[in-house]
């Protein structure tokens, strides 16, 4: 055992801050090529927001602004201190191109004044000097920059990954007319339904526990101090969180009531006003800029927000100049911080992230902010894993993705033929004392590679049901969300259901290099690649705001959708579905009795028997858009 800090938080800070960090050796020096200016920008309610502005030296032509607004810090602070890279990360391509870069600490964070609010609620129809939100703060910031930074061309672009991606989306609502290009990347949209800390009401325990103690700032702003991390003596998250027990034990043993947003989780266990007002999606009106949303197919943190922001802009802001989507085979932010040619054990053959950076990212901003080059990118540019190739579409999901249903069958079968028998079911005992692990890796950190992990490590457990097709006689590609329909009963009054879509490789599969040797070098022969999983806390099956118990012994339909997939199942492979009732410790344990889980006691957790029905009357199934061969 060894002592470590809450590394998840600091990884996030290092990934998303504007600070210097380890980069490939390069002769290019931002300090030698840029001048740094620091401003405290007044906004309409009187507070001042810190912004670091980097202006190219010896510039002879007006340049556009490229802005990132972030809660993770714009350090290093000080007029003579520079980050290792300016602009979108990965390399110096934007700095060499020439932009006026701006990094701003959002309200109440680091060197900005005011009170910080997580996922700042948007205020509808904000006008004049009324209530402030992220849109008004950005508007005022842009206005200040246009007036005070000489030799600008009057155009502004916004970019940001994850939480900064949320600020991009929030900033383009009724935005300043100078904002002509915006790229929300892995953006957060809704923290209860599908991003970061919940999925369909199920609580992402490991991420929330590790993130917020270090993220929160007890010191008043302005400050350059980081939050205080918690020391945890463990290198095994599964054992640590199992011993932690019921959620109230976190405060009793570790947080002592001092982690404010953890306390918010504990107080708001349903989709109440607190969570609803933090949902950005209904407010994406009046978007008139060019938007390009970036999504990683294997994003372990924000698999929901990007798709829904793209969809909501298309629906609520038809006057948006353009609304594009890019979907690649990436982990969270992997398009900027990897080559994108593999994840864990799974190869993608092409260096997809390099391709994105060279042919999509920089050309997008150059075209709209500088009028340079051509940008004829399709409305949707998407990479199909499995076949490992890029595709262009007009919309997402693609028009030619025809809904296809696979039914759970007897003896672990999976078929497009509906069940004909009036009886048929499978059952298993779900024991909260022995939850199904989400990963076979023994580590305290939440891995990113679990999103493509080999599922053989749980396929033989008695509390995991497995259904698979015959060997496929032809390739087929699945695109869009997975519509999951289970008919269930239980001896308890609540249950979680986790459904996994798995690609089973043939035993004849040969190894493909490179492989992630730091991960688990499982052989690809017979590999059960996780393509997508989706969880539903069944008490929310009808309404996230009004939970309902399951009636013991009564057959109940539980239906929900997964985040989207775009994957080709190759000839000779099999499509597999796995069904289980825990995914620990990533997702907290369900006591399997109907109660407020956030105030549960250790004694409330009960083993229960769950039954999955697969008959003509109760045809449990999944439905996904299938692109037929041409």
Are residue 382 and residue 411 in the same domain, yes or no?
A: no
Q: How confident is the model at residue 629 (pLDDT cuts 50, 70, 90)?
A: confident
Are residue 416 and residue 384 in the same domain, yes or no?
A: no
pLDDT at 3: 35
Asked whether the predicted pLDDT for residue 163 surpasses 60, the reply is yes
Are residue 414 and residue 499 in the same domain, yes or no?
A: yes
pLDDT at 514: 61
Mean pLDDT for the chain? 92
Round to whole Å and give the CA distance between 363 and 334.
19
Q: How confident is the model at residue 10 (pLDDT cuts 50, 70, 90)?
A: very low
Round to whole Å and give the CA distance between 480 and 565.
5
Q: How confident is the model at residue 323 (pLDDT cuts 50, 70, 90)?
A: very high
Average pLDDT rounded to a whole number, residues 202-208 = 97
Counting the structural domains of the chain, the total is 2
- Whichever domain contains 172, its CATH number is 3.40.50.1820
Q: How confident is the model at residue 222 (pLDDT cuts 50, 70, 90)?
A: confident
Average pLDDT rounded to a whole number, residues 160-187 = 97
The closest of 188, 345, 215, 179 to 275, measured between CA atoms, is: 188
The length of the chain in residues reads 630
Round to whole Å and give the CA distance between 231 and 248.
19
276 HSE (CA, 13 A, CB side): 7
In a domain, 228, yes or no: no
In a domain, 100, yes or no: yes
Are residue 485 and residue 597 in the same domain, yes or no?
A: yes
Are residue 365 and residue 431 in the same domain, yes or no?
A: no
In a domain, 40, yes or no: yes
Q: How confident is the model at residue 14 (pLDDT cuts 50, 70, 90)?
A: very low
The secondary structure element, H or E, covering residue 220 is: none
Instruction: Write the pLDDT tens digit of every residue in 101-126.
Output: 999 999 999 999 999 999 999 987 65
In a domain, 222, yes or no: no
Are residue 68 and residue 133 in the same domain, yes or no?
A: yes
Instruction: Write the pLDDT tens digit of every residue in 267-318.
Output: 999 999 999 999 999 999 989 999 999 999 999 999 999 999 999 999 999 8
Are residue 505 and residue 360 in the same domain, yes or no?
A: no
Cβ contact 578:466 at 8 Å: yes
Q: How confident is the model at residue 214 (pLDDT cuts 50, 70, 90)?
A: confident
Burial grade of 196 (CB within 10 A; 0-12, 13-18, 19 or more): buried
Among 334, 369, 393, residue at a domain's last position: 393
Asked whether the predicted pLDDT for residue 228 surpasses 80, the reply is no
Instruction: Give residues with Cβ within 8 angstroms of 60, minimum separation 6.
Output: none
Average pLDDT rounded to a whole number, residues 51-56 = 98
Are residue 425 and residue 539 in the same domain, yes or no?
A: yes
In a domain, 160, yes or no: yes
Asked whether the predicted pLDDT for residue 515 surpasses 80, the reply is no
Q: How confident is the model at residue 22 (pLDDT cuts 50, 70, 90)?
A: very low
pLDDT at 127: 54
Round to whole Å and give the CA distance between 457 and 436.
10
Instruction: Write the pLDDT tens digit of every residue in 355-410.
Output: 999 999 999 999 999 999 999 899 999 999 999 999 999 999 999 999 999 999 99
pLDDT at 76: 95
Average pLDDT rounded to a whole number, residues 576-602 = 98
HEC profile for 85-98? CCCCCCCCHHHHHC
Are residue 81 and residue 111 in the same domain, yes or no?
A: yes
Share of the chain above pLDDT 90, in %: 86
Q: How confident is the model at residue 231 (pLDDT cuts 50, 70, 90)?
A: confident
In a domain, 232, yes or no: no
Are residue 410 and residue 537 in the same domain, yes or no?
A: yes
Asked whether the predicted pLDDT for residue 19 surpasses 60, the reply is no
In a domain, 261, yes or no: no
Among 377, 393, 409, residue at a domain's last position: 393
In a domain, 344, yes or no: yes
Cβ contact 488:497 at 8 Å: yes
pLDDT at 24: 46
Q: Domain span at residue 365?
A: 3-189+280-393
Instruction: Write the pLDDT tens digit of every residue in 475-506.
Output: 999 999 999 999 999 999 999 999 999 999 99
Among 340, 371, 393, residue at a domain's last position: 393
pLDDT at 513: 65
- Whichever domain contains 429, its CATH number is 2.60.120.260
Round to whole Å and give the CA distance between 79 and 53.
10
Average pLDDT rounded to a whole number, residues 88-100 = 92
Q: How confident is the model at residue 5 (pLDDT cuts 50, 70, 90)?
A: very low
Are residue 23 and residue 155 in the same domain, yes or no?
A: yes
Are residue 79 and residue 183 in the same domain, yes or no?
A: yes
Q: How confident is the model at residue 4 (pLDDT cuts 50, 70, 90)?
A: very low
Average pLDDT rounded to a whole number, residues 407-432 = 97
Six-digit token string for 378: 């399709």
Share of the chain above pLDDT 70, in %: 93
Instruction: Write the pLDDT tens digit of every residue in 335-362.
Output: 999 999 999 999 999 999 999 999 999 9
């Amino acid at each position: 055992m060894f002592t470590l800090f809450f590394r998840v938080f600091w990884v996030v800070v290092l990934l998303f801050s504007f600070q210097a960090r380890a980069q490939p050796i390069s002769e290019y020096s931002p300090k030698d090529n840029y001048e740094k200016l620091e401003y405290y920008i007044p906004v309409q309610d009187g507070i001042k927001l810190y912004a670091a502005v980097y202006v190219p030296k010896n510039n002879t032509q007006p340049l556009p602004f490229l802005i990132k607004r972030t809660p993770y810090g714009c350090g290093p602070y000080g007029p003579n201190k520079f980050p290792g890279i300016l602009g979108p990360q990965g390399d110096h391509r934007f700095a060499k191109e020439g932009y006026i870069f701006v990094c701003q600490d959002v309200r109440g964070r680091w060197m900005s004044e005011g009170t910080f609010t997580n996922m700042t609620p948007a205020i509808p129809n904000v006008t004049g000097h009324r209530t402030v939100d992220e849109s008004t703060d950005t508007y005022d910031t842009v206005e200040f920059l246009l007036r005070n930074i000489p030799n600008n061309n009057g155009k502004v672009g916004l970019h940001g990954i994850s939480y900064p991606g949320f600020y991009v989306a929030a900033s383009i609502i009724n935005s300043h007319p100078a904002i002509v290009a915006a790229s929300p990347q892995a953006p957060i949209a809704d923290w209860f339904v599908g991003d970061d800390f919940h999925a369909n009401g199920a609580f992402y325990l490991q991420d929330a526990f590790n993130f917020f103690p270090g993220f929160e700032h007890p010191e008043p702003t302005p400050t350059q101090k980081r939050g205080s991390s918690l020391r945890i003596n463990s290198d095994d998250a599964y054992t640590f969180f199992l011993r932690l027990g019921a959620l109230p034990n976190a405060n009793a043993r570790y947080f002592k009531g001092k982690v404010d947003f953890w306390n918010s989780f504990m107080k708001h266990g349903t989709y109440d006003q607190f969570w609803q007002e933090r949902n950005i999606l209904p407010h994406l009106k009046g978007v008139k800029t060019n938007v390009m949303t970036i999504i990683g197919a294997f994003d372990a943190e924000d698999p929901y927000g990007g798709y829904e922001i793209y969809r909501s802009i298309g629906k609520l802001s038809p006057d948006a100049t353009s609304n594009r989507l890019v979907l690649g085979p990436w982990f969270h932010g992997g398009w900027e911080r990897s080559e994108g040619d593999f994840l864990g054990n799974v190869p993608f053959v092409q260096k997809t992230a390099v391709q994105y950076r060279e042919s999509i990212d920089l050309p997008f901003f150059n075209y709209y902010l500088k009028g340079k080059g051509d940008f004829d990118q399709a409305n949707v540019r998407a990479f199909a894993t499995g076949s490992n190739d890029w595709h262009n579409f007009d919309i997402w999901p693609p028009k030619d993705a025809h809904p296809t249903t696979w039914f759970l069958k007897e003896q672990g079968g999976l078929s497009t033929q509906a069940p004909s028998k009036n009886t048929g079911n499978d059952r298993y005992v779900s024991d909260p004392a022995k939850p199904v692990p989400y990963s076979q890796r023994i580590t305290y950190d939440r891995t990113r590679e679990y999103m493509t992990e080999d599922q053989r490590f749980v396929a033989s457990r008695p509390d995991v049901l497995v259904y698979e097709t015959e060997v496929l006689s032809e390739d087929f590609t699945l695109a869009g969300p997975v519509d999951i329909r289970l008919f269930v009963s239980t001896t308890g009054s609540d249950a979680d259901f986790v459904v996994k879509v798995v690609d089973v490789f043939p035993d004849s599969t040969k190894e493909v290099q490179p492989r992630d040797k730091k991960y688990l070098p499982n052989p690809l022969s017979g590999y059960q690649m996780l393509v997508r999983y989706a969880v539903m806390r069944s008490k929310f099956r009808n309404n996230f705001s009004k939970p309902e118990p399951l009636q013991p012994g009564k057959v109940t339909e539980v239906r929900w959708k997964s985040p989207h997939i775009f994957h080709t199942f190759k000839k000779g492979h099999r499509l597999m579905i796995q069904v289980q009732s825990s995914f620990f410790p990533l997702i907290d344990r369900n006591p399997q009795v109907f109660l407020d889980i956030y105030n549960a006691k250790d004694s409330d957790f009960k083993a229960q028997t769950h039954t999955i029905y697969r008959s003509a009357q109760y045809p449990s199934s999944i439905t996904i858009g299938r692109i037929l061969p041409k």
